[in-house]
Amino acid sequence: MLAVIYIAFISLGLPDALLGAAWPTMSQDLSVPVSWAGGISATISMFTIISALLSDRMTLRFGAGRVTAVSVALTAMALAGFSVAPNYWVLMLIAIPYGLGAGGVDAALNNYVAVHYESRHMSWLHCMWGVGASIGPYIMGFALSGGQGWPWGYRYIAILQVVLTVMLVLSLPLWKSRRRTAVEIEADGASAVNHEEGTERKPLGVAGVLAIRGAKEILIMFFCYCAIETTAGLWASSYMVLHGGVDRITAASWASLFYVGITVGRALSGFLTMKFADPAMIRLGQTLVLAGIVVMLVPLPHHLGVVIGLVVVGLGCAPIYPCVIHSTPDYFGEENSQAIVGVQMACAYMGSLIMPPVFGVIAQYATIALYPWYLLLFLVLMTVMHERLRKLRG
């Protein structure tokens, strides 16, 4: 079962960077402006948020295994659809099932791992996602350099997703074999059956999640974390070019070190979680992010402050996301974790969708020099929310 989940996380990362890698070629072939990539990305994100919010209801009714398998199948179909799309508007239409599949599998799989496996596996699994996200552009590059064009880049990934879907369908008995002893869980006098977990309760919904003490704090944490990660990654190169005077090619290479820091950090975090609990790992990550921001503000020669700072911020980001997810069942109980994780995923995508463009406006009309301070703002808010959560639920 664990082997299947590791393969699933690698495969889930494969499509995530495809659009960015292929779009310069796609935009020319489809005769649309380069900026129109934002429309496809936003559509995927919006429907990812919707499916994440529905994940609790779907998982209760069909079970985590079925939801994961169907979501991956939906993603595979969408990727195959991308490869044959004749124009931009068809891509926009196909982006809807793409987003629905992505959000469903994200919430269902993350909560399943949080409930059933140790924290180290959560860190390593998200490291494997990073591996997949790194491999995806290379597959697209292989298709482009071989003269096959971007459609075949999408087809290759779609084929891999179909293989994963078959694996997940064949593994459904393994998901069921992990059923825990059935427990009676009261929820507003009504119940729904989770066939794989053997529990009974009613889907909470967003209002039900927000009514739980400490839920607002952990949701704000997620929003802030994703605001930090996506803003740091998206604007790192521009910050180095416009504020530090680094040439564009060098800046593009150095900016990738942020993601290297996250991937390496998650590999290391898996070992550290054997000794430290999730709250300690989250605090360690927050401390490293702070240290990285401070280093970025230090005027070291040859722009070393920015480069070292980005790597340290990446290392700090590494344990926060997986450890927050893994700690959710401990804080709120396994009976509530799927609903909360679903809303967490929605908040994560909202943070990723909204806050980087907001900084773009700040950079355009004020100054891009505020980049480290913008990251610091969300770090402080995230840290305050974490400490409040510890007082309420710790």
pLDDT (tens digit, 9 = 90+) per residue, 65-75? 788 888 888 88
Nearest by Cα to 270 from 77, 168, 117, 165:
117
The pLDDT score that the predictor gives to residue 118 is 84
CB 382, CB 226: distance < 8 Å: no
Statement to judge: residues 226 and 329 lie in one domain: yes
Q: How many domains does the chain have?
A: 2
Statement to judge: residues 167 and 253 lie in one domain: no
Statement to judge: residues 86 and 142 lie in one domain: yes
Would residue 311 count as lying in a domain?
Answer: yes
In the chain, the N- to C-terminal Cα span, in Å, equals 31
Phi, psi (rounded to 5 degrees) for 264: -65, -40
Give CA 360 to chain center in angstroms: 21
Statement to judge: residues 214 and 198 lie in one domain: no
Mean pLDDT along residues 201-219? 83
What's the CATH code of the domain at 150?
1.20.1250.20
The pLDDT score that the predictor gives to residue 317 is 93
* pLDDT, mean over the chain: 82
Least confident of 174-178, 249-253, 365-369: 174-178
Each residue's pLDDT tens digit, 222-266: 999 999 988 888 788 888 888 877 777 777 777 778 888 888 898
Contacts 24+ apart (CB under 8 A), 383-389: 383/286, 385/217, 385/218, 385/220, 385/221, 385/224, 386/217, 386/221, 386/279, 386/282, 386/283, 386/286, 388/214, 388/217, 389/214, 389/217, 389/218, 389/221, 389/331
Count CB atoms within 10 A of the CB of residue 247. Answer: 9
The pLDDT score that the predictor gives to residue 244 is 75
* Residue, of 207 and 288, whose pLDDT is higher: 288
CA distances to 83, 340, 380 from 302, rounded to whole Å, are 43, 45, 29
Statement to judge: residues 195 and 232 lie in one domain: no
Determine the residue type at 98: Y
Would residue 186 count as lying in a domain?
Answer: no
CB 28, CB 144: distance < 8 Å: no
* Residue, of 293 and 144, whose pLDDT is higher: 293
Statement to judge: residues 144 and 223 lie in one domain: no
CB 179, CB 198: distance < 8 Å: yes
Statement to judge: residues 377 and 295 lie in one domain: yes
CB 106, CB 52: distance < 8 Å: yes
Statement to judge: residues 198 and 263 lie in one domain: no
Would residue 144 count as lying in a domain?
Answer: yes
Q: What share of the chain is helix, strand, coil (3-state, %, to 5)?
A: 85, 0, 15
CB 255, CB 314: distance < 8 Å: no
- Domain span holding position 111: 2-179+191-203
Mean pLDDT along residues 147-168? 87
Would residue 152 count as lying in a domain?
Answer: yes
Statement to judge: residues 224 and 142 lie in one domain: no
| Cα 295 to Cα 317: distance, rounded to the nearest angstrom | 15
Residue 184 three-state SS: strand
Statement to judge: residues 213 and 356 lie in one domain: yes
- For helices 215-242 and 248-255, the axis angle rounded to 10 degrees is 150
The H or E element containing residue 330 is: helix 304-332
The pLDDT score that the predictor gives to residue 316 is 94
**Final residue of a structural domain among 203, 238, 254:** 203
Sign of CA dihedral 305, 255, 105, 180: negative
Least confident of 189-193, 218-222, 236-240, 382-386: 189-193
State yes or no: pLDDT of 287 exceeds 90.
yes
CB 257, CB 311: distance < 8 Å: yes
| Cα 51 to Cα 222: distance, rounded to the nearest angstrom | 17
Look up the pTM and report it: 0.79
CB 73, CB 50: distance < 8 Å: no
Statement to judge: residues 156 and 9 lie in one domain: yes
Mean pLDDT along residues 92-114? 83
The pLDDT score that the predictor gives to residue 216 is 93
The H or E element containing residue 183 is: strand 183-184
Each residue's pLDDT tens digit, 290-344: 999 999 998 877 678 888 998 999 999 999 999 999 899 888 888 788 788 888 8
State yes or no: pLDDT of 270 exceeds 60.
yes
Burial class (CB in 10 A: 0-12, 13-18, 19+), 367: exposed
Mean pLDDT along residues 340-363? 87
| Cα 143 to Cα 42: distance, rounded to the nearest angstrom | 25
Nearest by Cα to 272 from 81, 44, 102, 119:
119
The pLDDT score that the predictor gives to residue 161 is 86
Give CA 186 to chain center in angstroms: 32
The pLDDT score that the predictor gives to residue 195 is 43
Would residue 184 count as lying in a domain?
Answer: no
Each residue's pLDDT tens digit, 20-55: 768 778 888 888 886 777 788 788 888 888 888 887
The pLDDT score that the predictor gives to residue 217 is 94
CB 310, CB 296: distance < 8 Å: yes
**Final residue of a structural domain among 136, 170, 203:** 203
Would residue 260 count as lying in a domain?
Answer: yes
Statement to judge: residues 289 and 168 lie in one domain: no
Q: What percent of the chain has pLDDT over 90?
A: 21
Would residue 83 count as lying in a domain?
Answer: yes
